[in-house]
């Protein structure tokens, strides 16, 4: 959901706002918060630069210990400053900052509670959102689906920002690291912001490939079998520098 609500900006440096609340979800080090916030803001701005979101739609989060740093609701990413840091505990209680967290906080927290994720990226990418309105699962158009855990499912529609949407999302994410949200967009997670973003971009690319191939009159795209995808997924586990 495009978040258009605006809150008062806090211009303090987050390194001065880390609360020493032992056992209550506050991060351990001030520098760790500052570095993570800088990377989160850079990732959020990248979603705009790469056309995955428009305005303040979409949101990004990163987990540090039991604290989740997340983009605030209704604040354009280019305006975010070090003092705008927003942090919540896994129970949703705000522990850092004064700006309100994203309205999609239930989805982010659901991912962290159910998986070992360290970062989550949610977008309203055009091709992925279009695919979410057409099929219950992205057809196996490319073997890179294996990098996301298998065929990408579409979570049934529910109103943005609700626990129902978070529950539907978790069902679609079972044994996966990304899914589509019907008539809404995408969500992906990873062990870092870079990985979560890369998975988001990969999903959008696959959706674009399928839509492009499906648009050719009189022809039907060739799809991979489940067996072919499983073989590719196995090979992908050893891909790149270990």
The one-digit pLDDT tens for each residue of the chain (242 residues) are: 434 333 333 333 433 333 333 334 455 588 999 999 999 999 999 999 999 999 889 999 999 999 999 999 999 999 999 999 999 999 999 999 999 999 999 999 999 999 999 999 999 999 999 999 999 999 999 999 999 999 999 999 999 999 999 999 999 999 999 999 999 999 999 999 999 999 999 999 999 999 999 999 999 999 999 999 999 999 988 665 56
Task: Tell me the C-alpha distance between 141 and 152, whole Å.
Answer: 11
Which residues neighbour 215 within 8 Å (Cβ) at sequence distance 6 or greater?
A: none
Cβ atoms of residues 144 and 206 within 8 Å:
yes
Contacts of 12-17 with CB under 8 Å at 24 or more apart are 12/83, 13/82, 13/83, 14/82, 14/83, 14/85, 14/96, 14/97, 15/82, 17/83, 17/85, 17/96, 17/97
Task: Tell me the C-alpha distance between 58 and 176, whole Å.
Answer: 20
Place of tokens 């994410």: 173
Q: Could you say which DSSP state residue 230 is in? A: H
Which residues neighbour 211 within 8 Å (Cβ) at sequence distance 6 or greater?
A: 127, 130, 131
Provide the pLDDT for residue 30.
Answer: 87
For 123, the 3-state DSSP assignment is: strand
Provide the pLDDT for residue 26.
Answer: 52
User: Angle at CA 64, nearest 5°, toward 66 and 111?
Assistant: 70
Task: Tell me the C-alpha distance between 51 and 179, whole Å.
Answer: 18
Task: Tell me the C-alpha distance between 124 and 162, whole Å.
Answer: 17
Nearest to 1 by CA among 55, 76, 47: 55
**104 is an active site residue:** yes
Q: Which pair of structure tokens corresponds to residue 119?
A: 């970062």
User: What's the gap between Cα 147 and its chain centre?
Assistant: 16
Options 21, 32, 78, 104, the catalytic residue: 104
């Amino acid at each position: 959901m495009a978040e258009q609500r605006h809150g008062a900006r806090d211009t303090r440096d987050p390194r001065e706002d880390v609360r020493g609340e032992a056992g209550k979800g506050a991060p351990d080090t001030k520098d760790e918060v500052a570095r993570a916030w800088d990377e989160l803001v850079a990732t959020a701005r990248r979603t705009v630069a790469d056309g995955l979101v428009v305005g303040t739609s979409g949101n990004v989060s990163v987990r540090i210990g039991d604290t989740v740093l997340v983009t605030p609701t209704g604040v354009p990413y280019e305006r975010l400053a070090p003092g705008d840091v927003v942090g919540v505990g896994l129970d949703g209680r705000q522990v850092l900052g004064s700006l309100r967290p994203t309205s999609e906080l239930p989805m982010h927290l659901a991912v962290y509670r159910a998986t070992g994720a360290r970062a989550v990226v949610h977008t309203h990418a055009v091709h992925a959102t279009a695919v979410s309105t057409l099929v219950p699962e992205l057809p196996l158009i490319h073997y890179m689906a294996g990098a996301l855990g298998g065929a990408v499912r579409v979570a049934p529609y529910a109103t943005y920002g609700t626990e129902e949407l978070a529950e539907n999302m978790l069902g679609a994410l079972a044994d996966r690291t990304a899914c589509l949200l019907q008539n809404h967009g995408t969500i992906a997670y990873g062990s870092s912001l870079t990985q979560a973003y890369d998975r988001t971009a990969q999903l959008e690319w696959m959706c674009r490939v399928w839509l492009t191939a499906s648009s050719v009159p009189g022809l039907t795209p060739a799809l991979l079998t489940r067996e072919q995808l499983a073989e590719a997924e196995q090979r992908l586990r050893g891909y790149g520098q270990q």
